[in-house]
A = this chain, B = another copy of it.
Amino acid sequence: MGTQFSPQRYDHIVKLVVTGTIGIDTVYTPRDKREGVLGGSAAYFAAAASQLCPVRLVAAVGGDWPSEHREILCGFPGVCVAGLDARPQSRTFAWGGRYFEDINRRETLFTEVGVLQEAPPIVPAAYRDSEYIFLGNTHPAVQLGFIEQFPERRLIVADTMDLWIRTAHGELTTLLKRVDGLIVNDSEAGELTGFRNAISACKKILDMGPKFVVVKKGEHGAVLMHHEGMALVPAYPVEEHQVVDPTGAGDSFAGGFMGYLARERRSDAAALQTAMAYGTVMASFALESFGLDRMRVLTSAEFQQRLASFQQLARVG
């Protein structure tokens, strides 16, 4: 990064794409609530990654998708929305959730799958040269289908969730043999492996195929493991009252993580370790607001300042 962010600088060399969901979220927190929030894994990922490099977005929305949400997404200079698959006769994916006093816990109030039950979004021909691919959480068979559409792929990283671990284990097993990396949270890692302990879970996931795995532990940081070793980061320290809405923090972590790798065109052990810090700091901004409000006004200087502060806080020895 260094100086003022300029997506144009990287236009010709960075080809990062995210496939995932766009959602209309309803969020209840212990102290507030918000309806009709722009959400979904692809939206959070893209907003975060675009702070570091241009990012292409592949997701489907319905005829009910608010024009203000489109304006918000288009307002990120680094986000390319050519891969937004708008379906006038369909409905946008909608999700409602409520966070408990312990803000790390939440319950889903409703899910209206809408376009998610239809054919996967179409990948524009112009995206076929994408090199850094993030497969946001969806059915692993759909994720597998996306892989084939990126023949120039250099790095494929996937997310998944408990639903697919339980209901699509076969496809997920196949997917894990096809991706370079997996990013999951600690409960998903536990469900996938049977190990509550993140280190044990990482080891078992590596045996399933990926070259590296990241387990996100929310306020307790994250663990990276690959065949040459591992890396540990704490979470950026935030107080209870600073957490406005944790929704999308994990996707923002992934966006910061992949954005760094794509920008640097690296995926060696040292780059993966640095990417963990980028993801951590990006997530810390995401939870300061509902939806993408904080990311919309985030400046490169703010990000750099917090990253430097984090490196100081987390210095060991």
Contact = CB atoms under 8 A, between A and B. Distances in A.
A107 interface: no
Contact of A220 (B203, B220, B231, B311): B220
B220 A221 contact: yes
B307 A311 contact: no
Copies in the complex: 2
Interface string A268-281: 00000110110000
B239 A199 contact: yes
Given A229-B313, A315-B231, A315-B316, A196 B102 contact: yes
Nearest to A312: B229
| Interface size of A as a range | 35 or more
Contact of A232 (B230, B237, B276, B317): B237
Contact of A315 (B101, B203, B217, B273): B273
Given A200-B239, A240-B200, A233 B316 contact: yes
A219 interface: yes
Interface in A260-317: 273-274, 276-277, 307, 310-317
Name the residue in A217, A277, A316 with the highest tally of chain B Cβ atoms < 10 Å from its Cβ. Answer: A316
A316 B311 CA distance: 6
B197 A239 contact: yes
Given A221-B221, A221-B234, A197 B240 contact: yes
A207 to B, nearest CB: 13
A283 to B, nearest CB: 14
A306 B221 CA distance: 21
A238 interface: yes
Contacts of A315: 231, 273, 316
With most chain B CB atoms within 10 A of its CB, the pick from A277, A312, A313 is: A313
Most chain-B CB neighbours within 10 Å: which of A195, A199, A230, A241? A199
B234 A234 contact: yes
A228 to B, nearest CB: 11
A127 to B, nearest CB: 31
A222 to B, nearest CB: 9
B232 A277 contact: no
Interface in A203-239: 203, 217, 219-221, 223, 229-234, 237-239
Interface of A: 101-102, 195-200, 203, 217, 219-221, 223, 229-234, 237-241, 273-274, 276-277, 307, 310-317
21 contacts: A101-B196, A102-B196, A195-B240, A196-B240, A197-B238, A200-B240, A220-B220, A223-B237, A229-B313, A230-B313, A231-B314, A231-B315, A232-B237, A232-B314, A233-B314, A233-B316, A234-B234, A273-B315, A311-B316, A311-B317, A314-B316
Given A102-B196, A223-B237, A232-B237, 10 more contacts: A101-B196, A203-B239, A221-B234, A232-B234, A273-B315, A277-B317, A310-B317, A311-B316, A314-B316, A315-B316
